[in-house]
Structure 1
Amino acid sequence: MKRLLSLLTILFFSVTAVSAQQTDTLKKRINFHFQLTAINQSHPAFHAPYSGRNSLQPGAEEALSLTSTMFIGARLWKGASIYFNPEISGGRGFSSAVGVAGFPNGETFRIGSSAPALYLARLFYRQHIALSKEVDTACDDANQITELVPLKRITVTAGKFAIADMFDNNSFSHDPRTQFMNWSLMSAGAWDYPANTRGYTDGIVIEYITPAWAVRIGTVLVPTYANGPDLDYHYGRAHGHVVEVQKNMVFGKRKGSLRVLAFRNVSKAANYKEVIDGYINHSDSLNVINGQKYGGVKYGFAINCDQELTNDLGFFFRGSWNDGQTATWAFTEIDRSGSLGINLSGRSWHRPNDTFGIAAVVNGISSSHRAYLAAGGYGFIIGDGKLTDFKTENVLETYYSALINTSLKISLGYQFIQNPAYNADRGPVNVFSVRAHIII
């Protein structure tokens, strides 16, 4: 970890020096940005009469995660750019990031192991195709060169990226580095969005964008096994498709957006009922991690809304569902989820760049998934060895983010998790968080 911190310090000051020399102009061909996020979490001991292989450990725990990303962008030709994101991650989540479907640290999604590791997060090409003469200026930012963007356009993104970069966005609840940290708040919980262990995939996304509407379609790769580090390049037999329609709205001069998403994944994900039947007949084991054959299908839907209520207050909600017949393959073991919350800026107490947020989530699973866990089955993130008292997993999260200077935000957070892993025999769990986020 000392080597990691030394390297990150060098990167930080290097990018700071480069950024100080940059100007936000249409002539600039290359840009550099940098982020570092450290999250320290702890939970006291909680009630648990028994534990399994994938249980959150009932003793008091403390865990630190750290991720750092360099964002490098280059202008190619009119409407075209390419982006390259090397990333370093290290640390861990509670109990090796198992035991809660709505896991409390969204950054542990990117940490494959506790040892610091350097890897390629994103490498993608973006092309805007103008459908109108009217343009707007897209300002310099992470993975965004300053450019004139047609108000009505087709945008093609191809390469390596996180599919959640473009789908299921939400102004108030999408980024665990600056907003809510719980997995089921950063994305629609029941969308098993295709990605490797670190949250990235390969594929192509095509967007039709106007000021009032947007339609997105994407097709990407899925991992070779549940939550695996490697992607399956047998595209004809393993892939993920997603489509989203977005409507931008204005109510009383207050902006908002409504998004409806549908997805269908095909992989080696095992069918819960077939696995249970095989186990009863002593011809199989209660294992859905690796999968034995292609043809496992999971499909589902999500709805997502964010709406400004005043100059300082915003509201959001999400609802999502999947069929829940086959094993979760990439994100987390949630088959139904609903969340809502508010976001309040600190303007009224003279801290306009500070943010207070509070949200509640209810997560559930299908009857087949429940039967599998009750039989003693394990997925890649939950499984207490039995499930005798099923209840929905309920999460309340609140945080306060304070802007310390132009580059640093410090956040304090709290999460209350009732019935972790849908098991009313265990918990509740109280999670306390401190987060530091640097962005240049």
Structure 2
Amino acid sequence: MKKLPFLFLFMSVFFSTKTISQTTDSIQKYSLKFQMTSVYQWHPEFKADYSGTNSMLSKEQRALSLTSTLFLDVPLWKGGLFTFNPEMSGGEGLSSAKGLGGFPNGETFRIGEAKPVVYMARMLLQQKFKFKNNQSLQIVAGKFGLADYFDGNTYSHDPRTQFLNWSLMTHGAWDYAANTRGYTDGIYANYQFDTWQVRASLSALPTNANGPNLGFSFKKSNAVNLEVEKKITFKNNDSGTIKLLGYKNLAGMGNYNLANSNYIITPNIVSTRQDGRTKYGIGINADYSHSDTWGLFGRMSYNDGKNETWAFTEIDQSASLGINLKGKIWNRSDDFAGLAIATNGLSASHQTYQKLGGNGFMIGDGNLNYGTEKIVEAFYSFAIPHTSFTLSPDYQFVVNPGYNKDRGPIQFVALRFHAQF
């Protein structure tokens, strides 16, 4: 079994470089694609008056992560498509992916498994119906990631090629349904008419906060997401997109106020878990593209923050803004660069829980002196000529890590290698 990840990687490279798609009379029969991303990350020692159970460790650290994905798309009939997507991941995040709401590497999980492991990321059926007057309907059922379909953004959505920070790759306050690796099971539909799209999904939540297993008792546990999208074309032919997302999670969550009022030494959110609890949230996402030279993006998101974070990350309010520059400006047409800022916060009851020494699954510094998390990230992506490889140096600067004013700012430096066939 130890040889399985390496066999998977070898087969992925072999088939993806030899046979991308099989065609007959110009009709595509199937598509086979492969990608691999490795991120090496480092931070120097930084000031910390004290550290708690879930703190970002203040000593100098290094970490390496690796993900490898094989995509097989098989058309079945008119508009029908089957997708099979095994994935391999290994390595680790700094401090076991704890200590920050906006964690600095979107390619790591909170599993702590350094050895490469192969698992099923996506396996789904898709049906598309095309109608007159530029209308269409897409229906998907199976295993997928909600971020595959919701909260897309031209310049800030994919940590394999764009910004690495968790609160930049999607809405920070969107506690989206997913197991520990980021995937769920459910159904999804998207109705497109002219320049508008309306999409919705019903999907499974993990059985425990940040758990690896999904629950399928939809009466007791489910996630509902709804998003409306509008594309805009301006008079100068620039383009933009604006999206409004709303979600509701139902699960056996703990409650921060109950944990804060009923404890002996430190509050424990797990002891207050009860079926029927909900979490509501909204997010707005926009991007603007000027020709093929530069673009802007921004996000704002909020959730009620009354009940515990269940799936994504411990952020209750978040805002981000950034710019993307295309290499065409400096005569490197395949290069691009990005600069973004983000700020993340917690609800009042969540703040109190942290101050009293409570822990979630990501953050917890003991007697917390609360402060919002402020993040700056910049990267440059070099295209390696005549190959499908890119190399991206990345720099992140985080102030008040873990929402704690008694811990100094951290500088994260990363080198990301990405290959796609």
| Structure 2 length-normalised TM | 0.96
CA distance 1:24–1:218, shift in 2 (3 Å): farther
Q: Are 2:186 and 1:186 equivalent residues in the alignment? A: no
Shift of 1:437: 0.6
Alignment of 1:365-384 (within 5 A): 365-384=346-365
CA distance in 2, matches of 1:179, 1:2: 31
- Could you say which residue in structure 2 is the equivalent of 1:28? 28
- Could you say which residue in structure 1 is the equivalent of 2:313? 332
Match of 1:163 among 115, 136, 146: 146
Post-superposition CA distance 1:239-280 (Å, at most 9, x none): 100100000001220111000000000111101011122215
CA distance 1:110–1:56, shift in 2 (3 Å): closer
- Could you say which residue in structure 2 is the equivalent of 1:172? 155
CA distance 1:25–1:333, shift in 2 (3 Å): farther
CA distance in 2, matches of 1:30, 1:241: 32
RMSD between aligned alpha carbons? 1.8
Report SS of the residue matched to 1:244. Answer: strand
Report SS of the residue matched to 2:77. Answer: coil
Report SS of the residue matched to 1:29. Answer: strand
CA distance 1:8–1:28, shift in 2 (3 Å): same
CA distance in 1, matches of 2:272, 2:16: 43
CA distance 1:438–1:211, shift in 2 (3 Å): farther
Q: Supply the AA of the counterpart residue of 2:368.
A: L
- Could you say which residue in structure 1 is the equivalent of 2:258? 274
Shift of 1:380: 0.5
- Could you say which residue in structure 2 is the equivalent of 1:70? 70
- Could you say which residue in structure 2 is the equivalent of 1:143? none
Q: Are 2:241 and 1:240 equivalent residues in the alignment? A: no
Q: Is the 8 A contact 2:5 2:118 kept in 1?
A: no
Post-superposition CA distance 1:342-374 (Å, at most 9, x none): 000111221111111000001011000000000
Q: Supply the AA of the counterpart residue of 1:374.
A: K
Q: Are 2:266 and 1:288 equivalent residues in the alignment? A: no
Q: Is the 8 A contact 2:101 2:315 kept in 1?
A: yes
Report SS of the residue matched to 2:13. Answer: helix
Alignment of 1:30-429 (within 5 A): 30-109=30-109, 113-132=113-132, 151-251=134-234, 252-280=236-264, 286-288=267-269, 292-388=273-369, 390-404=370-384, 405-429=386-410
Report SS of the residue matched to 1:28. Answer: strand
CA distance in 1, matches of 2:271, 2:143: 24
The count of residues paired between Structure 1 and Structure 2 equals: 418
Shift of 1:382: 0.4
CA distance 1:204–1:387, shift in 2 (3 Å): same
Report SS of the residue matched to 1:106. Answer: coil
- Could you say which residue in structure 2 is the equivalent of 1:141? none
CA distance in 1, matches of 2:24, 2:60: 48
Report SS of the residue matched to 1:12. Answer: helix
CA distance in 2, matches of 1:334, 1:415: 18
Q: Which runs of 5+ in 1 are unaligned?
A: 135-150
Post-superposition CA distance 1:148-195 (Å, at most 9, x none): xxx411100110000110000000000000000000000000000000
Q: Supply the AA of the counterpart residue of 1:190.
A: A
CA distance in 1, matches of 2:378, 2:260: 39
Shift of 1:52: 0.7
Q: Is the 8 A contact 1:268 1:291 kept in 2?
A: no
Shift of 1:375: 0.7
Shift of 1:27: 1.4
Shift of 1:333: 0.4
CA distance in 2, matches of 1:267, 1:385: 27
Q: Is the 8 A contact 2:92 2:109 kept in 1?
A: no
- Could you say which residue in structure 2 is the equivalent of 1:137? none
Report SS of the residue matched to 2:107. Answer: helix
CA distance in 1, matches of 2:212, 2:5: 21
Post-superposition CA distance 1:207-248 (Å, at most 9, x none): 111340000011100001111000011111101001000000
CA distance in 1, matches of 2:138, 2:368: 46
Q: Supply the AA of the counterpart residue of 2:277.
A: G
CA distance 1:112–1:217, shift in 2 (3 Å): farther
Identity %: 46
- Could you say which residue in structure 1 is the equivalent of 2:17? 16
Q: Is the 8 A contact 1:289 1:379 kept in 2?
A: no
Q: Is the 8 A contact 1:112 1:197 kept in 2?
A: no
Q: Is the 8 A contact 2:9 2:68 kept in 1?
A: yes
CA distance in 2, matches of 1:164, 1:97: 20
Q: Is the 8 A contact 2:321 2:340 kept in 1?
A: yes
Q: Is the 8 A contact 2:23 2:29 kept in 1?
A: no
CA distance 1:24–1:394, shift in 2 (3 Å): farther
Shift of 1:6: 6.2
Report SS of the residue matched to 1:227. Answer: coil
CA distance in 2, matches of 1:110, 1:116: 14
Q: Is the 8 A contact 1:91 1:111 kept in 2?
A: no
Q: Which runs of 5+ in 2 are unaligned?
A: none
CA distance in 2, matches of 1:290, 1:9: 46
